[in-house]
A and B are shown apart, each in its own frame.
Chain A
Amino acid sequence: MEDRITGAEALLRSLINEGVDTLFAYPGGTIIRVFDSMFSHRNDIRQVLVRHEQAAAHAAQGYARISGKTGVAIVTSGPGATNTITGISDAMLDSTPIVVIAGQVSTTSLGTDAFQEIDLVGVTQPITKWSYQIRRAEDIAWAVSRAFYIAGSGRPGPVVLDFTRNAQDQLIEYKPEKTDHIRSYIPYPAPNPDEIDAAARLIDQAQRPMVLAGHGVELGQAEEQLKAFIEKGDIPVGRTLLGLSVLPTDHPLNMGMLGMHGNLAPNVQTNRCDLLIAVGMRFDDRVTSKASLYAPQAKVIHFDIDKSEFGKNIKPHVTVLGDCRTTLELVTEKIHKSSHREWIGSFRQYRDEEYSKVIADAIHPSSGPLRMGEVVNAVSTLADESTAMATDVGLNQMFSSRYFKYRKPRSIITSGGLGTMGFGVPAAIGATFGAPDRTVVVFCGDGGLQMNIQEFGTIMETGAKVKIIMLNNNFLGNVRQWQQLHYNSRYSCTPMINPDYAKIAEAYGICSRTVSERSELEAAIRDMFRTDGPYLLIANCLEEENVMPMIAYGDAVDKMIFSI
Chain B
Amino acid sequence: MNNGKKLYTLIVHTENIAGILNQVTAVFTRRQINIESLNVSASSIEGVHRYTVTAFTEKDTIEKIVSQIEKKVDVLQCQYFTDDEIFMQEVALYKVTTKVLADNPKLSETIRRYGANIIEVNSTFSVIEKTGHTDDIFALNRELGDTGGLLQFVSSGRIAITRARIEHVSEYLDKFTTLYGCDNK
Partner-B contacts on A (CB < 8 A): 121-122, 125-126, 129-131, 150, 181-185, 306-308, 310-312
Contact = CB atoms under 8 A, between A and B. Distances in A.
A184 B64 contact: no
B118 interface: no
Interface in B45-98: 60, 63-64, 67-68, 70-71, 73-76
Nearest to B69: A308
B43 to A, nearest CB: 13
A183 B22 contact: no
Contacts of A130: 73-74
Q: 9 closest pairs, A vs B, by CB? A: A308-B67, A184-B76, A308-B71, A185-B73, A130-B73, A183-B176, A308-B68, A181-B180, A126-B26
B67 A310 contact: yes
B61 to A, nearest CB: 11
B71 A306 contact: yes
B73 A182 contact: yes
Nearest to B15: A184
A461 B63 CA distance: 51
Contact of A307 (B23, B70, B185): B70
Nearest to A306: B71
Interface residues of B, number: 24
Central interface residue in A182, A184, A310, A312, by most chain B CB within 10 Å: A184
Contacts of B4: none
B122 interface: no
A126 B72 CA distance: 10
A308 B64 contact: yes
B64 A312 contact: yes
A132 B105 CA distance: 59
A121 B19 contact: yes
Contact of B67 (A125, A184, A307): A307
Contacts of B38: none
B173 A125 contact: no
A131 B19 CA distance: 9
Nearest to A187: B73
Contacts of B71: 306-308
Nearest to B63: A311
B126 interface: no
SS of B interface (majority): helix
B23 A125 contact: yes
A150 B185 CA distance: 13
A181 B184 CA distance: 8
Contacts of A129: 73
A184 B73 contact: yes
Interface in B1-37: 14-15, 19, 22-23, 26, 30
B79 to A, nearest CB: 13
B120 interface: no
A130 B75 CA distance: 11
Interface of B: 14-15, 19, 22-23, 26, 30, 60, 63-64, 67-68, 70-71, 73-76, 173, 176, 180, 183-185
Given A183-B185, A184-B76, A185-B73, A122 B22 contact: yes
Contacts of A185: 73-74
A407 B73 CA distance: 36
A126 B27 CA distance: 9
B74 A125 contact: no
A183 B26 contact: no
A175 to B, nearest CB: 15
A125 B74 CA distance: 12
Contacts of A308: 64, 67-68, 70-71
A301 B183 CA distance: 34
A480 to B, nearest CB: 32
A183 B23 contact: no
Nearest to A179: B184
A480 B22 CA distance: 40
Nearest to A190: B179
Contact of A182 (B60, B64, B185): B185
Contacts of B30: 126
A177 B75 CA distance: 23
Contacts of B73: 129-130, 150, 182, 184-185
A183 B183 contact: yes
A181 B183 CA distance: 9
A183 B70 contact: no
Nearest to B29: A126
B182 to A, nearest CB: 9
B22 to A, nearest CB: 6
Nearest to B64: A312
27 contacts: A121-B19, A122-B22, A125-B19, A125-B22, A126-B23, A126-B26, A126-B30, A129-B73, A130-B73, A130-B74, A181-B184, A182-B73, A183-B173, A183-B180, A183-B183, A183-B185, A184-B14, A184-B15, A184-B74, A184-B185, A307-B67, A308-B67, A308-B68, A308-B71, A311-B60, A311-B63, A312-B64
